[in-house]
Amino acid sequence: MLKENKLSNWRNNAARSTYYKLGIPIFAISFSLLGSDKSPHTFISSEPSTPISSPLNKAVEPQIDTKQLPRHDLPQLLPNEIHHIRMGNFPGTGIVNMVSLGDSITFIGAYDIDGWAQKYAGHISAASMQNVDLTSLGMSGYKSRDIVDALYDVRFTEPLRNADIITLEVGLNDFISMRGMYTQELCGSNMNQECLDEMLANFKNNWDIILSRIKQINSKSAAIQVMDIYYPLSGYDEQLGIFNVLNSYLKQMNQHIAESANLNGIQLARIHSAFNSENGDSHIEQKYILPDVVHPSEDGHEAIYEAFVRASSTPLPIK
């Protein structure tokens, strides 16, 4: 009950707050999907884990390499709690350890009974007839650089070390933060695209480090599954006359995700094509997005879940 009350308070507070990261006022996050009493899971821990500290989100992230140390002394983003959820009710069977790593899309996806990560864990449980322990490492506001830093934190490395299945989603916050800079014409030289160029280069570098670091940490040769990035404000940006420029950068981000997945034998859930069409030039269907114009709705989470199921048509290495 304490967990539900804390979540309810956070949901109500968050629903009243606004921010201008995108250059327009939007709700920080909507929790209309959360708080149902019909949850099919049981929480492994009765109390949330210690909140995780988040690195400061800077307008332009510096280029990094694997020798850089994580940053521990920067402000915390709420709620950013690690959650453990058990799916399935198969007495006497093995346990499949699943870890979902990402930003608020993953946080909601794991915490909400209609969220994509929880539904996917349930699918794996039913298909394998084994219990699935889902650990959510979804942190609100995280960019790719923040994930790199988190992968040197024991609270992240321990669940990842023993994971059988790892899902990864990150990049939307990288993109929309620079979108805000671009719309305000604060993006530097190169026709107001300098910060977009830096964002793209940093994202590619960070993405490669994340995959490499996950493989270093994990001791089980886990199945790694990733998702690409949808464009939540495509219709709005078309009206502003900035869609073509911004879409070209998002396409390059998704191309890098796809190429690295193919290179590393990683399964790719194609969320962008589900939300924005195959070629990415169509505007997002509004049914997939909450009124905050960023986060997935219930239909959006269903589409993400279905994309992960399609991506896992090749059998997962479940013991």
Number of neighbours of residue 129 by Cβ within 10 angstroms: 11
Measure the CA–CA gap between 232 and 247, rounded to whole angstroms. 11
> 3-class SS at 294?
coil
Beta-sheet pairing, 267-269 with 223-227: parallel
Of 3.40.50.1110, 3.40.50.2300, 1.10.580.10, 3.30.420.40, the CATH number of 43-311 is: 3.40.50.1110
- DSSP assignments along 159-178, one per residue: HHHT-SEEEEE--HHHHHHH
**pLDDT tens-digit series, residues 73-127:** 323 333 467 888 999 989 888 899 999 999 999 999 988 888 999 999 999 999 9
Using CA atoms, how far apart are residues 57 and 59, in angstroms rounded to an integer? Answer: 7
pLDDT in tens, 244-269: 999 999 999 999 999 999 999 999 99
Residue 247 identity (one-letter amino acid): N
51-67 residue pLDDT tens: 433 332 333 333 333 23
CA separation for the pair 262, 264 (Å, rounded)? 6
CA distances from 262 to 50, 199, 310 (A): 36, 23, 16
Span 131-151, average pLDDT = 95
Q: Residues of the chain with pLDDT > 90: what percent?
A: 60
